[in-house]
Amino acid sequence: MDDARAAHRYFQEDGKYKCFHGSVKSLAERRLEKENRIPYNVETSNVRSKFLFSAMEVPVMSNHRESVHTDKAPAAIGPYSQANIAGSMVFVSGQLGLDEQTGVFVEGGIRAQTEKALRNMRAVLEAAGASLDDVTACTVFLKDMNDFAAMNEVYATFFTENPPSRAAIEVARLPKDGIVEISCIAVKA
């Protein structure tokens, strides 16, 4: 077996993918290399193999972000955006159970406010060119963890198949003294 293969095997058996200088390759680098999209040269000497990557053109996610605004969800109540788009990712700010026209909480307790918060989140996602199907993670902030079961029933009606990962956290207080706030991260298809 040639030196290059032996070195490659060593790196895989080590359980980590390492490049020639010993740092761990990123997941993107490994995927691109697997797809043969990163050209590389291997120079072999009698002492050891050296991996020398030639000049390559690798797509890099832009650090540019775009703010999202829609009148179909309540306006931000501070110096933040309803959402931001970075590449194919959408980061939606926490949505409360507020009516988008009046800025007042909907009546009906935790169920009504959870439903409204999720409808607001869906409106922001749609304004960003995404949908609830694109959501990969949600964070639910509850004023009272005793409301978890009722919130969960309503939440389940919005994410019927392949639900996103989620964290539910009880907090001391929410903006405008809300009882539920929901944020999410989505990856546009």
Average pLDDT on 44-72 reads 57
The letter for the amino acid at 86 is A
Q: How confident is the model at residue 69 (pLDDT cuts 50, 70, 90)?
A: very high
pTM of the model: 0.68
- The pLDDT, as a whole number, for residue 58 is 37
Q: Is the pLDDT assigned to residue 159 strictly greater than 80?
A: yes
pLDDT confidence of residue 64: 82
Which tens digit of pLDDT belongs to each residue from 73-108?
Answer: 999 989 999 999 999 999 999 999 999 999 999 999
Sort residue 177 into left (φ over 0), alpha (ψ -120 to 50) or beta.
Answer: left
Average model confidence (pLDDT) across the chain: 79
pLDDT of residue 45: 38
- Tell which residue, 82, 83, 74, has the closest CA to residue 178: 74
Q: Answer with the residue of higher pLDDT: 129 or 21.
A: 129
pLDDT computed for residue 36 by the predictor: 55
Confidence of residue 143 (pLDDT cuts 50, 70, 90): very high
CATH architecture for segment(s) 66-187: 2-Layer Sandwich (3.30)
- The string of pLDDT tens digits covering residues 10-46 is 344 444 444 443 445 555 555 556 555 544 444 443 3
**Domain boundaries for CATH 3.30.1330.40 within the chain:** 66-187
128: pLDDT strictly greater than 50: yes
3-state secondary structure the chain: CCHHHHHHHHHHHCCCCECCCCCECCHHHHHHHHCCCCCCEEEECCCCEEEECCCCCCCCCCCCCEEECCCCCCCCCCCCCCEEEECCEEEEEEEECECCCCCCECCCHHHHHHHHHHHHHHHHHHHCCCCHHHEEEEEEEECCHHHHHHHHHHHHHHCCCCCCEEEEEECCCCHHHCCEEEEEEEECC
